[in-house]
């Protein structure tokens, strides 16, 4: 039996770039649409302002099942992706998942932008400058050759710090926007990646035909998009429809009545059918909840790359021991 491997953050970074992650995510989404990958509905428990999350997926044809878990706390987090053999249930890999998570979260927006944004769009309004923001910018830039990015977050020092960092990585005009409205003005692509609890994107501020990646509001207390955005929305797409039904207060309000959810498509269907933006579309919205199909798709690709290049640290396969059923010796 092959021993499992521990794949570190440095291994992940060395083995995969964000554009490569976008390609791997697309392949995983196609498998999901074909029924060859099954998603485990995201679950979480909250205490105070902290959350424990768990997501996962099965790729039985590829020989893998996996789960990613992390506790998001004010003091930080430690995400781990665990891969098992789909036939035997034995451990195959433990992958440190900070960089992996950024590539998954950014990359899925890249996939959505590729299929749903206007093919000539070259301006991005980026709302939010936290840990995920740089990967979001990079992912959109990987599928659309951006000329300008307008950056807004409530704190001016955060905006400037982000712009300074982005300028060292991208040859793009970066503009500090003084307000959400200034950032959104005539921007054909919008990405929101915040922890806001009150909606701040209003339909009146969004240009005709814009595409929105709504990334930040993944638990019930959060909101980014006002409900009038959905009134103008030609196509609403999510990575994980089940998670959106359960946790996205924005989508629950917009589509929860009657059979409204029938108008919400999965991103896997969009990719598999190659049905991108249509000429008559107004606003398109992609809601990224985070799903196991995406994380495990990247994990499988990283596992194969690590094996081919001799990367990762071999660890011992866990061995069964009988439990002590009494206080005496077994």
Domain hosting 131: range is 108-287
Q: How far is CA 232 from CA 65, 79, 236, in A?
A: 39, 37, 10
- Output the 3-class SS for 196-242: CCCCCECHHHCCCCCEEEECCCCCCCCCCECHHHHHCEEEEEECCHH
Residue 255 is encoded by which pair of tokens?
A: 């589509």
Find the radius of gyration of the CA atoms of the chain: 20
Pair 52, 128 in one domain = no
Q: Is residue 247 part of a domain?
A: yes
Pair 64, 203 in one domain = no
In this prediction, residue 330 has a pLDDT band, given cuts at 50, 70 and 90, of: low
Q: Is the pLDDT at 143 greater than 90, yes or no? A: yes
pLDDT digits (tens, 9 = 90+) for 65-121: 999 999 989 899 999 999 999 999 999 999 999 999 999 999 999 999 999 999 999
Rounded Cα–Cα distance for residues 130 and 2 (Å): 40
Q: How many domains does the chain have?
A: 2
Pair 10, 148 in one domain = no
Find, among 262, 222, 208, the residue nearest to 72 by Cα. 222
Pair 204, 256 in one domain = yes
| pTM for this predicted structure | 0.93
Phi, psi of 92 (to 5 degrees): -110, -35
Please report, for the domain that includes residue 297, its CATH number: 3.30.1780.10
Which pLDDT value is given to residue 329?
A: 65
């Amino acid at each position: 039996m092959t021993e499992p491997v521990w794949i570190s953050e440095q291994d992940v970074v060395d083995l995969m770039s964000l554009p490569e992650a976008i390609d791997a995510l697309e392949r995983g989404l196609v498998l999901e649409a074909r029924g060859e990958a099954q998603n485990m509905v995201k679950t979480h428990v909250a205490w105070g302002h902290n959350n424990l999350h768990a997501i996962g997926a099965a790729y039985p044809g590829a020989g893998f099942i996996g789960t990613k878990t992390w506790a998001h706390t004010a003091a930080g987090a430690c995400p781990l992706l665990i891969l098992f053999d789909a036939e035997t249930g034995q451990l195959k890999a433990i992958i440190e998942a900070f960089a992996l998570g950024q590539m998954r979260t950014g990359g899925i927006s890249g996939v959505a932008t590729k299929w749903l944004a206007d093919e000539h769009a070259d301006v991005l309004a980026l709302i939010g400058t936290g840990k995920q923001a740089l990967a979001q910018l990079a992912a959109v830039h990987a599928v659309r050759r951006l000329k300008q990015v307008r950056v807004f977050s409530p704190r001016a020092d955060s905006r400037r710090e982000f712009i300074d960092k982005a300028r060292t990585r991208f040859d793009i005009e970066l503009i500090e926007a003084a307000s959400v409205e200034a950032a959104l003005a005539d921007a054909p692509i919008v990405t929101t990646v915040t922890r806001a609890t009150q909606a701040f994107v209003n339909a009146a501020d969004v240009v005709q035909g814009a595409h929105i990646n709504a990334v930040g509001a993944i638990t019930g207390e959060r909101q980014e998009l006002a409900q009038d955005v959905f009134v103008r929305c030609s196509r609403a797409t999510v990575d994980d429809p089940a998670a959106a039904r359960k946790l996205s207060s924005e989508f629950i309000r917009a589509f929860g009545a009657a059979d409204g959810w029938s108008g919400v498509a999965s991103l896997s269907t969009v990719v598999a059918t190659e049905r991108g933006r249509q000429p008559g579309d107004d606003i398109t919205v992609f809601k990224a909840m985070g799903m196991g199909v995406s994380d495990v798709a990247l994990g499988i690709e990283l596992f194969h790359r690590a094996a081919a290049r001799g990367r990762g640290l071999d660890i011992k396969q866990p061995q069964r021991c009988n439990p002590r059923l009494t206080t005496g010796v077994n």
